[in-house]
Structure 1
Amino acid sequence: MIKNNKPARITLAHINDTHSYFEPQSVQLQLNIDGQQIAPYVSNGGFARIATRAKQLKANAVQQQRDFIFVHGGDCFQGTLYFSLFKGKANSELLNALNIDVMTLGNHELDMGNAPVAAFLDRIQFPLLAGNWDLTNEIKTKSHYLKGRSNLLSYQPETKTARWMTRIMDGEPIAIFGVSLDKMADIANVDADTPFVNAFETTLNTVHAIQTSGINKIILISHLGFEGDCELAKQVEGISLIVGGHSHTLQGDFSALGLKKECEYGLQIKGTYIVQAGYHSQALGHCEIDFAADGTVTAFKGKNELLIGRRLCLDASLLTVSNDKIHTQASDFLRQHENVIVCKKDPQLQDLLENKYIPRVRALQNRVIAKVDEDLRHIRIPDLNGGSEIAPLVAESFAHMMNKKGHPVDFAIHNAGGVRTSLYRGNLSVADIAGKLLPFVVPIGVYRIKGKYIAQALEGAINNATNNGVVGTGSGSYPYTYNLDFNYYPERALGKRIAELTLYNAEKGWVNIDPELFYAGSSSAYTMKGKEGYQALTRMEGDGVVTEHSMADCFIDFIQDRPDSLKVRSNKQ
């Protein structure tokens, strides 16, 4: 029990939702320079720039006699070829190279179950926080057993609290713990024997336990999303700072760069400050926090910084540099913007990338397999211009691969959120597909299911995507199909919204689905588990078969076999 708490001054840097974006991206800005609108491209972000800026911030903190801590708000997995190819090994090595001090578990760390998290824990040199992850009943014979690992701070059922770490900063103990989305089973593939418990109750109990131990300076690293963080701050007293993730919220004013202003940096709610730093390694957040002896924050100063290179370019390839007067003025404007840092790449981290990981990525980027003649739009929920022009092709690619590999299927269903971008005119490489279009490394499976459950799954997915009669998990569940056609009537009662459900038959054309007959389908393993409204798919016969082929594998094979498919623009939905 600590009886004599003291004031403390610290500096904290933070990133979140980096999603394997280790290299810089080309980003187009919208600038007004002396009344003239220009839209230059800049090299933005990447781990080597983050490393440079983090080292600068740490040096500044030391100079000011402030202790420094660097944290990650979760979701480092998935997103680019670096994860597709290296399955988390690059993530652990590069986060170690960044000298991250602590990270909270994100939902995408569990897209492929617990095993990749176990491998990640074997390699990282910092603790992973998962304070509402209950490992009590974990099966001990599993090869990727997690319970008892010293660098995983999980749920403590006997006290209903998160394990927390205590870090002495400026001579004063500061408690740090993490919580993640408690509906993890709905959106990720966490093993069934290791559920997530209520994040709010865990936070409330943990803050009380920390305070009872005598510590009054508390930092929560959360992967609940910005709205969830705000709710926690309203309902739980005693949290000094919430460092967030999940919602990709870039706090601060970047409107002069053409970016949407979401909210101020360090939003304060009832004495708790809330920070989050965007996504995809584009920005680094940092703040200076002064605590009084009683734990209250007496001073808070900080911001998110967009990290960019020094060159302003005329195209997304960043090959054509402009040095005319207006672009020179624009360069000066960016250097003076309080939320922009023109930043060199850290040579050590860049060398690690170039020597160990970039060559394999470049090989796939240079492997062109098709040409896109006209833009193909992806949208999750159809609008007045129609639905996604890509997701139905992805669904068709599942059926194509499964049929080719000896798993005959009648139809395929794919959720819109599994497709991450539109396709634009030009060459299409393996890297474009596996690293951008379909970056999630999730296998495809086959199953036999009655017609009535197909209808229920389609309705459940649309209800979930549109919050129609249910509290949904997001628009990503909206279904796109191959060989299925149907109408959805949103005004009808639950369970009766799908009608005119038909299946395409090569001999008979479109025929009505019989509710009691079995049909063979294909979907991702994620969808087959009944996630995000697809619960009816769990009524399949047996467990189905999950293959070794990923979404990207299927689409690459499909495009190579049928290159003209990218010219097909029809979508019956």
Structure 2
Amino acid sequence: MKFKRSTAGLLAVGILAATGTVAADGPGKGNGPKRSVEDTSIIDSSSFSVSFDKTFPAGQPLERIVDVEFTDTDGNQINAGDLEVEVTSGNRSEVTVTHEDLDGQTGTLTVGDTELAFDHDTFDLNIFHTNDNHGRTDAYPQLVSAYNEAQDTYGEGLLLDAGDIFSGTLYFNEFRGQDAVEFMNYMGYDAFVPGNHEFDLGDPDEGHPELVEFFEAADFPIVAANIDFSGDSGFDHLNQGGISNDPQAGNIYDGIILEQDGEQIGIFGLDTENTVNISSPMNVTFSNYLAAAEQAVADFEAQGIDKIVALTHLGYDSSPAIGSDLLLAANVEGIDAIIGGHSHTTLEEPVIIDTNADGAPKDPTIIGQANEYGKFLGVMNLTFDSQGRVVDYAGELLAAEDYEADPTAAEMLEPYTEAVEELQNQPAGSYVVNELPNPRLGADSNVSVRANETALGNLIADAQLDAALTASDEVLMAVQNGGGIRAPIAAGDVTVGELITVQPFGNRLSLMEITGEELYEAFEHSFSNYPEENGGFLQISEGTEVTFDSTEEPGDRVESIIVDGEEIAQDSEMYTIAMNNFTAAGGDGYDVFSNIFEDDRVSIVGFTDWEMLRDYMADLGEVDYSVEGRITDIADE
């Protein structure tokens, strides 16, 4: 296998300061006092050191002082080329000798009467990887072709996925991951780490039956070193834990050991601890990713495994508060490669981290991530020395769109696509007068559904209030987290497919009993990041007006909450409000909602988000919504 050189520093030798360097001009002994070799050590595949009982004469080739010979394991002499000597300043009896690279060679170095075994054999490992598919099942046929060609080009290797197969499209809403796992089995994945979206369907009563079914259908093991599934009995028959050298399909482990070309490779998984805020894990819990990684590395090393891969859903460069691949590489020794996801980062070539958190040199860790949605197959090529250190690396992203669809995979996709298209095109019974955008902050927008009132947010909140009032006429208002609104609605006739794309998570309506004081606390959190985006920014229903002052410090911004002309007091009076079950359980960092949920003041009504939107819009028939001033920042006035 032919790799490009990754960095000059990777194989650099710490050569001592020189007072003279001369190439050897042939074997033999020079005149002068005889010198005995006191110590010899191998530095790396291109250098060794020698110490003598007397000083080394300036300008003398080493082989005029002492015989030097390299032989292989069969006793055949190896030509190591010219030997170049550098003498240590201040101690001329110590020298460093460089020679031609002996990478891949194993044998014996003889210096005078001293014999020293060397092992510079190398091992090449290919890793192919994907991440953050998010329900794009229709990407697999071309991705299969990219993978097949990659194997033809580079040879066989490990195929890994870094999480978030769930959520985001009609494919997922219809088939709950069972379509995706069929393609993953067809491709032959070797390991999978759950991402945060794998827990989107968490139910307080049923747990995660769809995720259990996904695992049960998988022909590959699940790695999850910092995820504890023991609180959800649905996973009991799959949850093995620990490090396994005989991992079984669909079973959950901290890490696994796989054999590749006669070498053992350790793979462990990590998911972002922020899953508790941005998904619905229910009784599944998450521990500190750095502590879990350190334990996994120690467990592998205890079994003699010196080639270790972290399969992560942390994000390449996510906030230090929630962790990232960069921080993992800098803070945990012993990880040779990180295959990542979550941040949807496009690493066109792998990235090397060879300094630790203190800036000191460390053994290299190579990081790869392949963007999103099955657009790319990531390729990482690693070369290890005999000590399990990465000494060379290369890699690339193969664009799936450049390949024809694999015929078998295309045939597999057909029934799934037919079902999705039938659902996609089903009329929803409403007509949108003006487009309902779903803005995000960026080059062409200074407003965001995650930071500002939007017409679409108003519509969705109103739909939830309308549904909630059929369950209880005591409901005061409805709120919708901005992060749960995923797409705009175009002007014209509306289809069911469009509405599922807008609200793809299948969240269910929940009613919450909340005090006035707690309601103010919730809106303080809603505005805490303003004017920056916050997935927990609350869109609000008709009749509610919330005024805040962004010039004040977070936690002291809400000026008033008025419903139907009456101001809500910050006291202990109890109210009923509606929201989706994700937000009600404390998603997006709502500690106040989480505490209420734990206090058993939440009931799940059961209406699904997109269905509520469909029914409300159908009742309206003609939908004409705009920004109305439901949310006001007095600093703007």
**Where on the TM-score scale, by shorter chain, does this alignment land: which range?**
0.7 to 0.9
Cα distance change on mapping 1:101 and 1:201 into 2, 3 Å: same
1:99 aligns with 2:193: no
Query: Which of 504, 514, 517 is matched with 1:449 structurally?
Result: 514
* Aligned pairs for 1:102-501 within 5 A: 102-113=191-202, 114-135=208-229, 138=231, 146-148=238-240, 150-151=248-249, 163-192=254-283, 194-227=284-317, 228-252=324-348, 265-270=349-354, 271-308=364-401, 342-355=402-415, 357-369=416-428, 370-379=430-439, 383=446, 387-405=453-471, 408-434=474-500, 436-463=501-528, 475-482=534-541, 483-493=543-553, 495-501=555-561
Question: Is the 2:423–2:496 contact (alpha carbons within 8 Å) kept by the matching residues of 1?
Answer: yes
SS in 2 for 1:273: strand
- How many Å separate the matches in 2 of 1:95 and 1:362? 22
Partner of 2:569: 514
Cα distance change on mapping 1:203 and 1:95 into 2, 3 Å: same
- How many Å separate the matches in 2 of 1:455 and 1:465? 16
- How many Å separate the matches in 2 of 1:199 and 1:563? 50
Could you report, residue by residue, the CA deviation over 1:329-388 in whole angstroms, capped at 9, with x for unpaired residues? xxxxxxxxxxxxx21111111111112x12221112212333333332223579469632
Residue segments in structure 1 that go unaligned for 5+ positions in a row = 24-45, 156-162, 253-264, 309-341, 468-473, 505-509
1:268 deviation in Å? 0.9
Partner of 2:579: 523
SS in 2 for 1:485: strand
Question: Is the 2:257–2:265 contact (alpha carbons within 8 Å) kept by the matching residues of 1?
Answer: yes
Instruction: State the percentage of identical aligned residues.
Output: 24
Question: Is the 2:439–2:447 contact (alpha carbons within 8 Å) kept by the matching residues of 1?
Answer: no
Question: Is the 1:186–1:532 contact (alpha carbons within 8 Å) kept by the matching residues of 2?
Answer: yes
Question: Is the 2:266–2:308 contact (alpha carbons within 8 Å) kept by the matching residues of 1?
Answer: yes
Question: Is the 2:199–2:279 contact (alpha carbons within 8 Å) kept by the matching residues of 1?
Answer: yes
- How many Å separate the matches in 1 of 2:464 and 2:332? 46
Cα distance change on mapping 1:52 and 1:295 into 2, 3 Å: same
- How many Å separate the matches in 1 of 2:513 and 2:529? 23
1:462 deviation in Å? 2.4
- How many Å separate the matches in 2 of 1:144 and 1:400? 40
- How many Å separate the matches in 2 of 1:526 and 1:384? 24
SS in 2 for 1:560: helix
Supply the AA of the counterpart residue of 1:354: E
- How many Å separate the matches in 2 of 1:562 and 1:422? 18
1:406 deviation in Å? 5.1
Question: Is the 1:133–1:154 contact (alpha carbons within 8 Å) kept by the matching residues of 2?
Answer: no
1:570 aligns with 2:628: yes
Could you report, residue by residue, the CA deviation over 1:450-495 in whole angstroms, capped at 9, with x for unpaired residues? 222111111123225768xxxxxx7211111113211222443554
Task: Flag the structure with higher helix content.
Answer: 1
RMSD (CA atoms): 2.6
Cα distance change on mapping 1:9 and 1:552 into 2, 3 Å: same
TM-score, normalising length: structure 1: 0.78
Of structures 1 and 2, the one scoring higher in RCO (CA 8 A, sep 6+) is 1
1:281 deviation in Å? 1.5
Could you report, residue by residue, the CA deviation over 1:29-52 in whole angstroms, capped at 9, with x for unpaired residues? xxxxxxxxxxxxxxxxx1110011
Supply the AA of the counterpart residue of 1:20: G
Question: Is the 2:238–2:252 contact (alpha carbons within 8 Å) kept by the matching residues of 1?
Answer: no
Could you report, residue by residue, the CA deviation over 1:44-89 in whole angstroms, capped at 9, with x for unpaired residues? xx11100111122123334xxxx31111110000111111112222
- How many Å separate the matches in 2 of 1:174 and 1:454? 52
- How many Å separate the matches in 2 of 1:372 and 1:95? 39
Supply the AA of the counterpart residue of 1:132: N
Deviates more, 1:375-384 or 1:219-228: 375-384
SS in 2 for 1:477: coil
Question: Is the 2:432–2:623 contact (alpha carbons within 8 Å) kept by the matching residues of 1?
Answer: no
TM-score, normalising length: structure 2: 0.70
1:544 deviation in Å? 2.1
Deviates more, 1:198-207 or 1:282-291: 282-291
Deviates more, 1:201-210 or 1:237-246: 201-210
Partner of 1:329: none
Residue segments in structure 2 that go unaligned for 5+ positions in a row = 1-118, 203-207, 242-247, 318-323, 355-363, 632-637
SS in 2 for 1:410: strand
Supply the AA of the counterpart residue of 2:262: G
Cα distance change on mapping 1:154 and 1:147 into 2, 3 Å: closer
- How many Å separate the matches in 2 of 1:250 and 1:461? 31
* Aligned pairs for 1:4-19 within 5 A: 7-19=122-134
